[in-house]
């Protein structure tokens, strides 16, 4: 593993800030196209790998990982799903993805995607700098933007042609865009998700649960590892929930036939995450491009976070390749517009699923009846189920 840029490398073509899946995938695709890049990451490699995230990959994301030549383990271990269930009123309703779209999704954890990408960058001799502190971006209005940072206590500078901000919601990249230029749109939800990871046998397909006690989700990471979620109050703490309490509450929300067969066991990890919808516009400022969570957040209900980031990388890798290989700036000029057109459609879908499946504290008696009608219409309409399936497997890039 290369832990710092050699002393004679002070310039690169593309500086990528953030070594999560979007930054690593962009680095891999650019390297395959012969475009020099350096990745700067604030955290350690172990910290990045230790983050527990979603594991449902759209068809387009799977194909992009294959294009990046990081698909060998995914193709061996990933679990193809041609449908999923929505549970409501103690009944299970299956959404047949294959029937309505001819396609499917793959369950393969984000941690595993990240590991595969790290291994690929290592094998190619990629320049990745972990624990790069105090990163700042300068001179974006020039032909050679400057990145300043500290590594192992020593100040460093890196010149580049372009900067890719893949450093997440709290990163420096979006904050570098002047407030006079940047517009942010946000909706916060009045609940969180309590997640539990366990070495237990999961149900054979994902199950989304609408229940008066709150939403629940039964998902999986492998044939022997499960990931479950419960809607909880924002004031809840992980310490408030013992494993026994979690399993008992999950059983209350599941239809009887699933609760009866639920495999339970000690948790490997528990965490609580708030839910929000967020979009930043534009996604390009001068020679800075935003990608992934730096530009947008979706509630996890539709399993779109990683997939949206992959779509951004699709657009950005092609834009930069067209510039360096054909001297064509068209795709760079349209990058923000191309991404945002798709992003807002995905934001709509994720917000719709969240609204339909969750209980909202303090709402009047009208809202739950509307949700019931929405679900009843969904289960009785092929066109509605087809729309849900089309969005779930992923809109085209």
| CB contact set of 35 (below 8 Å; sequence gap of 6+) | 13, 14, 320, 321, 324
Q: Give dist(CA 320, CA 308) in Å, integer.
A: 19
What is the structure's pLDDT at 9?
Answer: 54
1 within a domain of the structure (yes/no):
no
> β-strands 105-107, 56-57: how paired?
antiparallel
Q: Could you report the per-residue pLDDT of 138-173, keeping only the tens digit for each?
A: 999 999 999 999 999 999 999 999 999 999 999 999
Catalytic residue of the set 130, 145, 300, 324: 300
What one-character-per-residue DSSP string does 113-178 give?
HHHHHHHHHHHTT-EEEESEEEEEEE-TTSSS-EEEEEETTEEEEEEEEEEEE-S-TTSHHHHHS-
Residues 114 and 256 in one domain: no
Domains contained in the chain, number: 2
Whether 18 contacts 37, CB under 8 Å: no
Residues 150 and 49 in one domain: yes
Higher pLDDT, 80 or 9: 80
Q: What is the CATH number of the domain that holds 44?
A: 3.50.50.60
Range of the domain at 141: 11-82+103-186+276-352
336 within a domain of the structure (yes/no):
yes
CA atoms within 13 A on the CB side of 179: 0
| CB contact set of 122 (below 8 Å; sequence gap of 6+) | 1
* Catalytic annotation present for 11: no
In terms of Cα–Cα distance, which of 64, 170, 167, 165 is closest to 117?
Answer: 64
Residues 339 and 370 in one domain: no
Q: Could you report the per-residue pLDDT of 329-338, keeping only the tens digit for each?
A: 999 999 999 9
Residues 370 and 299 in one domain: no
* Catalytic annotation present for 296: no
Q: Output the CA–CA distances (angstroms, integers) from residue 52 to 55, 108, 268, 269, in the order listed.
A: 9, 12, 11, 9
* Catalytic annotation present for 208: yes
Share of residues in the chain with pLDDT > 90 (%)? 95
Chain CA centroid to CA 103, Å: 20
Share of residues in the chain with pLDDT > 70 (%)? 97
Residues 297 and 195 in one domain: no
Q: What is the CATH number of the domain that holds 245?
A: 3.30.9.10
Mean pLDDT value across residues 3-16: 72
Q: Output the CA–CA distances (angstroms, integers) from residue 99 to 60, 87, 353, in the order listed.
A: 18, 19, 20
Mean pLDDT value across residues 319-323: 98
Q: Give dist(CA 278, CA 308) in Å, integer.
A: 12
What is the structure's pLDDT at 244?
Answer: 98
118 within a domain of the structure (yes/no):
yes
CA atoms within 13 A on the CB side of 350: 28
Asked if residue 282 has a cis previous peptide bond (ω within 30° of 0), the answer is yes
What is the structure's pLDDT at 53?
Answer: 72
Q: Give dist(CA 105, CA 80) in Å, integer.
A: 6
Residues 343 and 365 in one domain: no
pLDDT at 6 over 80: no
Residues 69 and 134 in one domain: yes
Q: Could you report the per-residue pLDDT of 47-62, keeping only the tens digit for each?
A: 998 876 768 999 999 9
Mean pLDDT value across residues 254-259: 96
Residues 18 and 67 in one domain: yes
Catalytic residue of the set 85, 130, 208, 324: 208
* Catalytic annotation present for 81: yes
Catalytic residue of the set 81, 211, 270, 358: 81
* Catalytic annotation present for 325: no
Chain CA centroid to CA 47, Å: 17
pLDDT at 125 over 90: yes
What is the structure's pLDDT at 50?
Answer: 83
Whole-number CA gyration radius for the chain: 22
In terms of Cα–Cα distance, which of 302, 322, 303, 326 is closest to 314?
Answer: 322
Higher pLDDT, 100 or 221: 100
Q: Could you report the per-residue pLDDT of 206-239, keeping only the tens digit for each?
A: 999 999 999 999 999 888 999 999 999 999 999 9
Whether 100 contacts 390, CB under 8 Å: yes
Catalytic residue of the set 304, 314, 324, 358: 304
pTM of the model: 0.95
335 within a domain of the structure (yes/no):
yes
């Amino acid at each position: 593993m290369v832990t710092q840029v050699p002393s004679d490398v002070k310039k690169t073509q593309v500086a990528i800030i953030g070594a999560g899946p979007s930054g690593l995938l962009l680095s891999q695709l650019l390297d395959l196209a012969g475009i020099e890049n350096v990745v700067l990451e604030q955290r350690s490699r172990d910290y990045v790998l230790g983050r527990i995230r979603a594991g449902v990959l759209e068809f387009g994301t799977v194909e992009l990982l294959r294009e990046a030549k990081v698909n060998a383990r995914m193709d061996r271990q990933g679990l193809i799903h041609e449908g999923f269930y929505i549970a409501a009123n103690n009944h299970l309703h299956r959404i047949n993805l294959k029937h309505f779209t001819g396609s499917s999704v793959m369950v393969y954890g984000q941690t595993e995607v990240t590991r595969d990408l790290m291994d690929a960058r290592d094998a190619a001799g990629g320049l990745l700098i972990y624990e790069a502190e105090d990163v700042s971006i300068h001179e974006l209005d020039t032909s050679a933007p400057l990145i300043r940072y500290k590594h192992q206590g020593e100040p460093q500078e890196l010149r580049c042609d372009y900067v890719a901000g893949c450093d997440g919601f709290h990163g420096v990249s979006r904050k570098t865009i002047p407030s006079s230029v940047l517009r942010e749109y946000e909706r916060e939800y009045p609940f969180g998700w309590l997640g539990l990871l366990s070495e237990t046998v999961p149900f054979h397909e994902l199950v989304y649960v609408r229940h008066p006690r709150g939403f629940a989700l039964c998902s999986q990471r492998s044939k022997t590892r499960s990931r479950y979620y419960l809607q909880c109050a924002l004031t809840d703490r992980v310490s408030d929930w013992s494993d026994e309490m979690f399993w008992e509450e999950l059983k209350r929300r599941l239809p009887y036939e699933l609760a009866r067969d639920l495999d339970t066991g000690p948790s490997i990890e528990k965490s609580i995450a708030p839910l929000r919808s967020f979009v930043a516009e534009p996604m390009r400022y001068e020679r800075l491009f935003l990608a992934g969570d730096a530009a947008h957040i979706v509630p996890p209900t539709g399993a779109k976070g990683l997939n949206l980031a992959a779509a951004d990388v699709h657009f950005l890798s092609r834009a930069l390749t067209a510039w360096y290989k054909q001297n064509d700036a068209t795709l760079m000029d349209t990058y923000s517009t191309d991404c945002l057109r798709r992003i807002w459609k995905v934001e709509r879908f994720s917000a719709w699923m969240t609204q339909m499946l969750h209980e909202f504290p303090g709402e009047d008696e009208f809202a739950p009846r509307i949700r019931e009608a929405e679900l009843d219409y969904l289960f009785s309409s092929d066109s509605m189920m087809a729309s849900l399936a089309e969005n779930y497997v992923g809109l085209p890039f």
